[in-house]
Structure 1
Amino acid sequence: MTKNFQIALGEGGFGVVYHGYLNDSDQVAVKVELLLRVHHINLVSLIGYCDERDHLALIYEYMPNGDLRDHLSGKKGDSVLKWTSRLQIGVDAALGLEYLHYGCRPSMVHRDVKCTNILLDDHFRAKIADFGLSKSFQVGDESEVSTVLAGTPGYLDPETCRLAEMSDVYSFGIVLLEMITNQHVIDQAREKPHITEWVAFVLSEGDITRIVDPNLHGEYNSRSVWRALELGMSCANPSSEKRPNMSQVVIDLKECITSENSMKSKNKDSDSHGSLELSSSFDTDVAPSAR
């Protein structure tokens, strides 16, 4: 139609406009936006597409370890995602969203961030998938408003009237709470059906041990867990003005990993030091000393 994009008529915020012909006779303006321009290590890559009459398909890279939800629910076997693995998955997903918000030109809002759209490769590194609801928007363009609800119940931003990156931040906060608690986003059998309300309710009762996924069996640094919990609740704040942006989320999650690794290192040093003290006490005295 455009003779291999020969003549560019102009470029707007949502793609380049090319001169072309419809049916080799009618002149048309063709606006083109290539999905292939969106490329990041933490986004599932679009390899190509198929358009053959009634056969339409998008071809993406294969992610052998499925989605995050399956691993949290136990559908992928008996192995449980360790706390450090969950934090790294959170960082990976946050980096993908940060790229969409600030690395793309024009910027993009995913609009359907959830655990089933966070896929894991063979090394359990996370990539965000499913851009079916994604929309581009001009940075600072106050006129870009979305009046159509898009997304999944439970993950939807309470402030749904405006298309902005903060809607993705809210959904990501829900994902973080899922990773920490392994609770369903909406569960009518709970004291509070929505996960944000349930977490706030349990915290108010002072029973914080009920919040963390019991499958972790206490194998985590409580400081990094509560820091991540605070971040999740901050992202899922009903007011978009009080939420952090994805760049700040990346920083905070990396600090959680640093805190977790630091505590593990201290514990190893402590165990090693204790073993040395024990062996030396056996070496120095054969008979028991006075106490």
Structure 2
Amino acid sequence: MKKPLSFFIFWCFLLSDLVHARNHHVFPPILAPGLPPQIPNISPISPASESMAAAPFGLQIGVHGDRHHHHHQLRKKWVLLTAIASIVPCVIIFCLFALIIWSAICRKANQRNVQSSETTKGTTLGPFLSKFNSLRMNGKKGSVSVIEYAFLEASTNNFSSSNILGEGGSGRIYKARFDDNILAAVKKLDSVGPESEHEFENEVDLMSKIRHPNLVSLLGYCVYGQSRFLVYELMQNGSLESQLHGPSRGSGLTWHLRMKIALDAARGLEYLHEHCNPPVIHRDLKSSNILLDSAFNAKLADFGLAVTVGAQSKTNVKLSGTLGYVAPEYLLDGKLTEKSDVYSFGVVLLELLMGRKPVEKLAPAQCQSIVTWAMPQLTDRSKLPNIVDPVIKNTMDLKHLYQVAAVAVLCVQPEPSYRPLITDVLHSLIPLVPIELGGALRVSEPKPTSSQ
């Protein structure tokens, strides 16, 4: 683009110089080689024109003629310069527009080439699985790629039982090993029906649009016959439920780690409520849907039941959720808001504090929720330390324990208007988490309650 423009300007200035040189007679008359100068035949002239005849051929002498010729040449030069000054900006603008259009065409052509090569070869996860959070791939659903069934089958060793990571109500989760020993989790949804199909489509559609460090990344999906598959980033430490209520009974979770998990979950929920447009209601927040990576960073998972604010009022949203986590106004009246998620978060916070399940059986036909059992003791400072999980008992500052208990009490209030926003919950937890774990607390040495 720049080379033709520079040549154009060069020739314009050269033409100007040639005109200028011609006007000042810098160049002598050009004679044919080897020929003497030709003297033109002079006819008799009148005395009035004698003075002009005495001058060399081609020159005009005289005050009036010379001035007229000089003005004429200046006018020609001014017209030429004006034309150049008008043309050059137009040429520059034209070149810039052409450059922009050409760049856009090349960029679109490259994108089409990438998409066509992916379609012909089949989508593979090798090059981009190394960076889960920055994965952006043009697939069928936004940033989520379509994965061939044969590829999943090979990566899970034909869905071997030795690769099972867990099992939920909707299907099993398998450990998958892709190229370069990259690991992921493959969730196999075996249930068939309109509801399960809707949940599958809902999760793929939603997770292709949202990304956050505290939300599990959906890497791809597969449709094979009656089975549906979801491929997630692998969370090495499983779910919060397995950590609290599994074989270890929460022994791997210190007080500060539990507060970090609560803070991470609050950050993920705040992103859904405050930063998504329209806001998203998770609708199934529970400890089994809070997953932990190798550093115990918590991420929210399972968005099959999630809905956007406004959609639940336009369409008939079927009552869904898990017993013990469902907010009372949603359970009784079907009213669903962001405060419903806040109630579920409060139940998770009580699990972290007391190490108890959200619903426990007292008798074969009788159950008791953690909210009903704990509420009278949460507001009594003398009783509160006695109901804390024995694993973390006497390992925290009592002030922090009282603050967390107060936040949990507010979150599980029966009246939604009394519950705080998740943003307020988040800011209440930040001062209780050490700086190295993502909070604002400066920890020198642990202060057990027994020393106070």
Closer, same or farther in 2 for the Cα pair 1:239/1:145, shift >3 Å? farther
1:223 aligns with 2:404: no
Q: 2:77 corresponds to which residue?
A: none
Q: 2:371 corresponds to which residue?
A: 196
1:42 aligns with 2:214: yes
The separation in 2 between residues aligned to 1:261 and 1:221, in whole angstroms, is 15
Taking structure 2 as the reference length, what is the TM-score of the superposition? 0.48
Q: 1:287 corresponds to which residue?
A: none
Task: Point out which structure has higher relative CO (alpha carbons under 8 A, 6+ apart).
Answer: 1
Q: 2:358 corresponds to which residue?
A: 185
The separation in 2 between residues aligned to 1:267 and 1:35, in whole angstroms, is 40
The separation in 2 between residues aligned to 1:200 and 1:236, in whole angstroms, is 9
Q: Alpha-carbon deviation of 1:265? A: 2.6
The separation in 2 between residues aligned to 1:183 and 1:142, in whole angstroms, is 32
* Alignment of structure 1 residues 202-213 onto 2, 5 Å: 202-203=377-378, 206-213=382-389
Q: 1:235 corresponds to which residue?
A: 411
The separation in 1 between residues aligned to 2:224 and 2:256, in whole angstroms, is 45
CA deviations on 1:113-140 (whole Å, 9 max, x unpaired) are: 01111000011100001111111124xx
Q: Alpha-carbon deviation of 1:266? A: 6.8
| Residue identity opposite 2:282 in structure 1 | H
CA deviations on 1:78-131 (whole Å, 9 max, x unpaired) are: 843110100010010111111111111121111010111100001110000111
Gap runs ≥5 in structure 2:
1-114, 116-203, 448-452
Closer, same or farther in 2 for the Cα pair 1:267/1:137, shift >3 Å? closer
Q: 1:168 corresponds to which residue?
A: 341
Taking structure 1 as the reference length, what is the TM-score of the superposition? 0.73
> Deviating runs (4+, > 6 A) in structure 1?
none
Question: Which one has the largest radius of gyration?
Answer: 2
* Alignment of structure 1 residues 9-88 onto 2, 5 Å: 33=205, 35-76=207-248, 79-88=251-260
Q: 1:14 corresponds to which residue?
A: none
Is the partner of 1:119 in helix, strand or coil?
strand
| Residue identity opposite 2:408 in structure 1 | G
CA contact (8 A) 1:192 1:198 kept: no
1:113 aligns with 2:292: no
Q: Alpha-carbon deviation of 1:55? A: 3.5
Tell me how many residue pairs correspond in the alignment. 239
| Residue identity opposite 1:39 in structure 2 | R
Q: Percent identity?
A: 38
Q: 2:297 corresponds to which residue?
A: 125
1:151 aligns with 2:327: no
Is the partner of 1:37 in helix, strand or coil?
coil
Closer, same or farther in 2 for the Cα pair 1:98/1:144, shift >3 Å? farther
Q: Alpha-carbon deviation of 1:162? A: 1.9
The separation in 2 between residues aligned to 1:142 and 1:61, in whole angstroms, is 29
| Residue identity opposite 1:202 in structure 2 | Q
| Residue identity opposite 1:221 in structure 2 | D
Q: Alpha-carbon deviation of 1:151? A: 0.5
Q: RMSD across aligned C-alpha pairs, in angstroms?
A: 3.2
Choose between structure 1 and 2: higher helix proportion: 2
Closer, same or farther in 2 for the Cα pair 1:116/1:74, shift >3 Å? same
Closer, same or farther in 2 for the Cα pair 1:142/1:47, shift >3 Å? closer
* Alignment of structure 1 residues 130-145 onto 2, 5 Å: 130-138=302-310, 143-144=313-314
Name which of structure 1's ranges 129-138 and 74-83 shifts more when overlaid on structure 2: 74-83
Q: Alpha-carbon deviation of 1:60? A: 1.1
The separation in 1 between residues aligned to 2:313 and 2:251, in whole angstroms, is 48
The separation in 2 between residues aligned to 1:120 and 1:92, in whole angstroms, is 10
CA contact (8 A) 1:144 1:163 kept: no
CA contact (8 A) 1:155 1:174 kept: yes
| Residue identity opposite 1:121 in structure 2 | D
Closer, same or farther in 2 for the Cα pair 1:198/1:34, shift >3 Å? closer
| Residue identity opposite 1:90 in structure 2 | A
Closer, same or farther in 2 for the Cα pair 1:106/1:193, shift >3 Å? same
Closer, same or farther in 2 for the Cα pair 1:189/1:39, shift >3 Å? same
Q: Alpha-carbon deviation of 1:222? A: 1.0
